[in-house]
Amino acid sequence: MASFTNGTESALLSLIFTATNWANIADNTATAPLANLFVSLHTADPGEAGSQTTNETAYTSYARQSVARTTGGFTVSGSDPTQVVNAATITFPQCGVTGATLTHWGIGTLVSGAGVLLASGVIGPTAGPTLDFTCSLASPGSLTVPGSAFSVNDQVSCYHSPVGTLPTGITEGTVYFVGTVTGIAITLSTTTANGTPVNTSTVGAGWLAKQTPLAVANLITPSFAASALKIVAD
């Protein structure tokens, strides 16, 4: 297995998010270059094969928000891992009569329509790829998460890792509840801690993202503080 170098990761993220030319490799197009990227809100994980419209919210008055492809719009920093974050607050339209529960955000290329979804993430504090988990064959499935500090009823999503396949029975991007906590071992539930436990039929591994779905209703204005949207290349 191979991976990109830190320099390559930084150059790729800088080209995509800040329109910074990658010397001797790639230039930002000189003919009608994309000046902005567009942040969307979703009621479920849009997935790696999704577009900007996949599970996109439709709360009253909702609209995607533009962020400039400049260092004033996004900040690329660090190495091992390299990451990109929003450089300033992103504020969405105030919700009207019909609300929604938001679980994920996305960044894509169009102000409306399917577009190309470049990246997505969960709403709320992310546990990140440092909280890897393993799962032995069990019913219900027990996830061993070294370094975890989960509580019963915390909401989480599971994702595959470069070296792990999710155990059968766990769906990537689905919002689960932590059902039980025993040391660094947790079980998942489909509704609440008292809900139906998730059973696994194969061993597997991945990483967990802790999240806090955002319920928007009339007069609520969703927003993300600077650096709240984080994309990590590791």
Q: Report the C-alpha gap between 58 and 52 in whole angstroms.
A: 12
Look at residue 131 in the predicted model and tell me its pLDDT.
73
Look at residue 126 in the predicted model and tell me its pLDDT.
55
- In the chain, what are the domain boundaries? 6-123+214-233, 132-211
Verify cis geometry, omega within 30 degrees of 0, for the bond prior to 125: no
pLDDT 10s digit of each residue in the chain, 234 long? 578 899 999 999 999 999 999 999 999 988 999 999 999 999 999 999 999 999 999 999 999 999 999 999 999 998 878 999 999 999 999 999 999 999 999 999 999 999 999 999 999 875 444 578 888 877 788 899 887 778 899 999 998 887 788 999 999 989 999 999 998 899 999 888 778 889 999 989 998 888 889 999 999 999 999 999 999 886
What is the dotted CATH code of the domain comprising 132-211?
A: 2.40.30
What does R_g of the chain's alpha carbons equal in angstroms? 19
Look at residue 81 in the predicted model and tell me its pLDDT.
83
DSSP code at position 15:
H
Backbone angles phi, psi at 17, to 5 degrees: -100, -20
DSSP string, the chain: -----HHHHHHHHHHHHH---BTTTB---SSS---EEEEEEESS---TT--TTTTB---TT---EEEESSTTTEEEE-SSSEEEEESS-EEPPPP-SS-EEE-EEEEES-SSSS--EEEEEESS----TTSEEEEES-SS-EEE-TT----TT-EEEEE-BTTB-PPTT--TT--EEEEEEETTEEEEESSSTTSPBPP-SS-EEEEEEEE--EEE-TT---EE-TT-SEEEE-
Phi-psi bin for 29: left (phi > 0), alpha (psi -120 to 50), beta? beta
Element holding 106 (H helix, E strand): strand 104-108
**Is 0.85 topped by the overall pTM?**
yes
Look at residue 164 in the predicted model and tell me its pLDDT.
80
Count CB neighbours of 119 within 10 A.
19
